[in-house]
């Protein structure tokens, strides 16, 4: 399955065909999600695929399906510091898989299940788009590479195009000696910072694009949190981990 091409064409939509996807497509999606190598081994993530009548939230698009994503506490009973990042990483793979299979999506920070779930993280609406949800790479509204990265790596263009809540793009990458050190902004600041608090998930989405681009280029993707010797973060950013 080519997940690389959709990175350069995908567009979030609010316009879905109301018709549910074939049961086989949902089964294949489940099988694909189960096959993705997690970003970090010790984060427990779960999801449910539900219909629109089981979801609540402000200004939700009408979609035939919603992925509701949760993250259980770790074995130690505490929320893993990389829980949201791991969720962004895993379910952006699902997002790209859906585009590769002729569907469209929208991540929805405010979508939750009607049934209470203390471990709920986020939702994604998906289905067939009722009008094309695709664009040319030059039509993406994104920061230029020099604002989000120091040092060159051919995979960073795919990373640059990653979607994020409020299109905040709260990430920074430092390429150094074959490694890519990854940083994020814990808050978008200002009003956006009050309205949106999932920047830790956004950076996982960017890491998914780095993983997919690595596979495309035949390069390894191994993610680790290195405790010392990483380049200092730019002001306002926090170290997340290193890909090599
Ligand atoms: C984590 C996350 C949360 C989002 N939450 C919402 C939301 O609550 N409502 C909405 O309309 N769009 C939401 N979006 C969609 C973003 O606004 C959109 O991805 C961004 O503007 C980039 O556009 P693109 O996805 O078409 O490339 C969210 C996206 C992400 C990645």
C-alpha 73/C-alpha 44 separation (Å) is: 7
Instruction: Kindly state whether residues 122 and 232 are assigned to the same domain.
Output: no
For residue 61, the ligand 1 atom closest to its alpha carbon is: 11
Tell whether 133 is covered by a domain: no
pLDDT-based confidence at 84, cuts 50/70/90? very high
Q: What is the structure's pLDDT at 74?
A: 64
Virtual CA dihedral for 57, 15, 169, 31, nearest 10 degrees?
Answer: 80
Residue among 56, 166, 198 whose CB has most ligand 1 atoms within 8 A, to mutate: 166
SS3 of the chain: helix, strand, coil, percent, to 5: 30, 25, 45
Instruction: Kindly state whether residues 70 and 153 are assigned to the same domain.
Output: no
Quote the pTM value.
Answer: 0.98
Residues spanned by the domain of 117: 4-127
pLDDT-based confidence at 75, cuts 50/70/90? low
pLDDT at 227 over 90: no
C-alpha 36/C-alpha 219 separation (Å) is: 17
Tell whether 181 is covered by a domain: yes
CA-nearest of 23, 117, 97 to 65 is 23
Per-residue model confidence as pLDDT tens digits over 23-45: 999 999 999 999 999 999 999 99
Domain end position, chosen among 102, 127, 152: 127
Name the residue at shortest CA distance from atom 16 of ligand 1. Answer: 165
Tell whether 93 is covered by a domain: yes
Number of structural domains the chain divides into? 2
Instruction: Kindly state whether residues 116 and 26 are assigned to the same domain.
Output: yes
Instruction: Kindly state whether residues 88 and 30 are assigned to the same domain.
Output: yes
Name the residue at shortest CA distance from atom 19 of ligand 1. Answer: 163
Q: What is the structure's pLDDT at 114?
A: 97
Helix 83-100 and helix 199-216: axis angle, to 10°?
A: 50
Contact 49, 64 (CB under 8 A): no
CATH value at residue 120: 3.40.109.10
Instruction: Kindly state whether residues 97 and 27 are assigned to the same domain.
Output: yes
Name the residue at shortest CA distance from atom 11 of ligand 1. Answer: 108
What average pLDDT does the segment 145-156 reach?
Answer: 98
Q: What is the structure's pLDDT at 191?
A: 95
C-alpha 59/C-alpha 109 separation (Å) is: 11
Tell whether 52 is covered by a domain: yes
Name the residue at shortest CA distance from atom 13 of ligand 1. Answer: 108
Per-residue model confidence as pLDDT tens digits over 133-149: 999 999 999 999 999 99
Tell whether 196 is covered by a domain: yes
pLDDT-based confidence at 157, cuts 50/70/90? very high
Q: What is the structure's pLDDT at 184?
A: 98
Instruction: Kindly state whether residues 123 and 11 are assigned to the same domain.
Output: yes
Instruction: Kindly state whether residues 119 and 154 are assigned to the same domain.
Output: no
Q: Which residues pair with 124 in a beta bridge?
A: 67, 107
C-alpha 237/C-alpha 225 separation (Å) is: 15
CATH value at residue 158: 3.40.109.30
Phi, psi of 167 (to 5 degrees): 50, 35
Helix 23-35 and helix 83-100: axis angle, to 10°?
A: 140
The rounded Å distance from CA 203 to ligand 1 centre is: 13
Mean pLDDT, the chain, rounded, equals 96
pLDDT at 156 over 90: yes
Instruction: Kindly state whether residues 94 and 202 are assigned to the same domain.
Output: no
Name the residue at shortest CA distance from atom 7 of ligand 1. Answer: 108
Residues with CB under 6 A from ligand 1: 11-12, 106-110, 163-167, 198, 201-202, 205
pLDDT-based confidence at 76, cuts 50/70/90? low
Name the residue at shortest CA distance from atom 20 of ligand 1. Answer: 167
Instruction: Kindly state whether residues 13 and 123 are assigned to the same domain.
Output: yes
Residues 6+ apart with CB under 8 A from 233: 172, 183, 239
Q: What is the structure's pLDDT at 115?
A: 93
Tell whether 132 is covered by a domain: no
For residue 205, the ligand 1 atom closest to its alpha carbon is: 31
Tell whether 134 is covered by a domain: no
Instruction: Kindly state whether residues 42 and 89 are assigned to the same domain.
Output: yes
């Amino acid at each position: 399955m080519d997940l690389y091409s959709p990175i350069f064409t995908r567009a979030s939509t609010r316009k879905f065909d109301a018709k549910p996807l074939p049961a086989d497509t949902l089964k294949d999606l489940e099988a694909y999600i189960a096959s993705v190598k997690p970003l970090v081994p010790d984060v427990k993530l779960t999801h449910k695929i539900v219909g629109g009548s089981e979801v609540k939230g402000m200004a939700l698009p009408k979609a035939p399906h919603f992925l509701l994503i949760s993250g259980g506490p770790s074995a130690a009973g505490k929320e893993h510091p990389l829980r949201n990042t791991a969720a962004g990483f895993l379910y952006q793979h699902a997002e790209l898989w859906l585009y590769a299979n002729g569907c469209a999506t929208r991540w929805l920070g405010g979508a939750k299940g009607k049934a209470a779930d203390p471990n709920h993280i986020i939702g994604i609406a998906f289905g067939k788009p009722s009008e094309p949800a695709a664009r040319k790479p030059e039509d993406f509204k994104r920061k230029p590479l020099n604002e989000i990265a120091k040092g060159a790596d051919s995979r960073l263009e795919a990373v640059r195009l990653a979607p994020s809540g409020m299109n905040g793009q709260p990430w920074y990458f430092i390429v150094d000696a074959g490694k890519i050190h990854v940083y994020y902004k814990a808050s978008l600041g200002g009003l956006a910072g009050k309205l949106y608090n999932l920047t830790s998930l956004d950076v996982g989405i960017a890491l998914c694009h780095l993983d997919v681009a690595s596979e495309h280029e035949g390069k390894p993707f191994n993610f680790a949190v290195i405790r010392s010797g990483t380049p200092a973060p730019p002001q306002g950013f926090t170290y997340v981990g290193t890909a090599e």
